[in-house]
Structure 1
Amino acid sequence: MALYTPAYQPTGDEIAVLTTSKGTIRVQLAGKDAPIHVGNFVELAQKGFYDNLKFHRYVPGFVIQGGCPTTRDLTPEQVINEGSRRGCGTGNPGYSIKEEFTTNPHNEHNDGTLAMARSSNPNSAGSQFYFCLGAQPMLDDGYTVFGQTVEGMDVIGKLRVGDVIESVVIENAAE
């Protein structure tokens, strides 16, 4: 799959506002540290890509993951009961982006960190993201961090498989 370079150039001031079925989460995006990941996330959010996707993976004390387009047309119950059979966790936006965990000077997986999921190929991230549920330093050398939660940690703690990403809006995005 070809590597995509987003046209959007982050300023470092972008804040992602994720409205979920459990509440709202605000994330300070790390545009200076992970410009490809932030640019990609902003572009996808502005296109409405994340609207009505479901969280499809929850590992207590580890991560809650969403952003897979295969969940779009499924009900929360279908994601909960049939997710793996229906391909949840295998989708992407039709491209992948270059890893930035080797160049991000602040690539630390702390409680509430927003990072990109990927397959075994380091350059396979696309749209799937996760929030860390506690510090996960073992991920620092393999997954790109591109934001840190500034409001809504309580919401992240309530999220489970099947919960809905109602929308993602980017505040302070450059025109």
Structure 2
Amino acid sequence: MLRTIFSRTLAAALLAGGLASAAIAAEPENTMIITLKDGDVTIALKPEMAPKHVEQIKALVREGAYDNVAFHRVIDGFMAQTGDVEFGDMKDGFNARRAGTGGSSRSDLPAEFSDAHFVRGTVGMARARDPNSANSQFFIMFAPAPNLDGAYTIVGEVEDGMDKVDAIKRGDPAQNGVVAEPDRMLKVRIAADGE
């Protein structure tokens, strides 16, 4: 009886905190850690859902391409977008007018859509109108967005640090979320690689 009460209490606490899916952590090779101004955000990458996208993200992380890249588009109640390694690097080549229009030197990726849903903490790939145009940019959801389901590739989910994502500076709603003096990803790494 006591075990049943404990199990129900633990499950309720996890659900209330939005951490039900985080109970099982991703293996270190598929765990991306983003250091923000307020601390670390841990993301479980999903190679079983989007193997080509996850492979490209991990390669860019290991090249250091995401370090110092701006959250150039942040819409309250929707998502925070980053990952433009071409125009979004705030230490080398940042271009506020072009941030969000670039990618990387790697090829664009074919869509890897799934039946998964865009909910709070989901990490999805940004793209142009062409479904096969995702490259380096990704976004983290602040709230569910069913209209994105099956139309954008999901690459992961926040396991820990969603409060740090919530603290990212918001953009101007009149400018489609473009952020003046944006926050950035200070450092990005794969957990298997160590510090």
Shorter chain as denominator, the TM-score bin is 0.7 to 0.9
Which of 60, 66, 72 is the matching residue for 2:76? 60
Which of 36, 46, 50 is the matching residue for 1:30? 46
Q: Deviations over 1:21-80 (max 9, x none)?
A: 2321001111111111111100000000101111100111001000112021469xxx7x
**Structure with higher RCO (Cα < 8 A, 6+ apart):** 1
TM-superposed CA distance for 1:172, in Å, is: 3.4
Identity %: 33
TM-score, normalised on structure 1?
A: 0.81
Distance, in Å, in 2 between the alignment partners of 1:74 and 1:121 is 30
Q: Which runs of 5+ in 2 are unaligned?
A: 1-25, 170-178
Amino acid in the other structure paired with 1:71: G
Where 1:24 maps in the other structure, the secondary structure is: strand
Which of 117, 121, 126 is the matching residue for 2:126? 117
Where 1:68 maps in the other structure, the secondary structure is: coil
Q: Deviations over 1:93-152 (max 9, x none)?
A: 132111101xx34x3111011110000000000010000011111101211011010100
- 1:93 paired with 2:104, answer yes
Aligned Cα root-mean-square deviation (Å)? 1.8
Listed as ranges, the matches of 1:1-175 within 5 Å are 13=27, 14-69=30-85, 70-73=87-90, 83=96, 86-94=97-105, 95-101=107-113, 104-105=114-115, 107-160=116-169, 161=179, 162-172=182-192
Q: Which runs of 5+ in 1 are unaligned?
A: 1-11
Where 2:164 maps in the other structure, the secondary structure is: helix
Larger radius of gyration: 2
Structure 1 runs, 4 residues or longer, greater than 2 Å off: none
The total of aligned residue pairs comes to 152
Where 2:186 maps in the other structure, the secondary structure is: strand
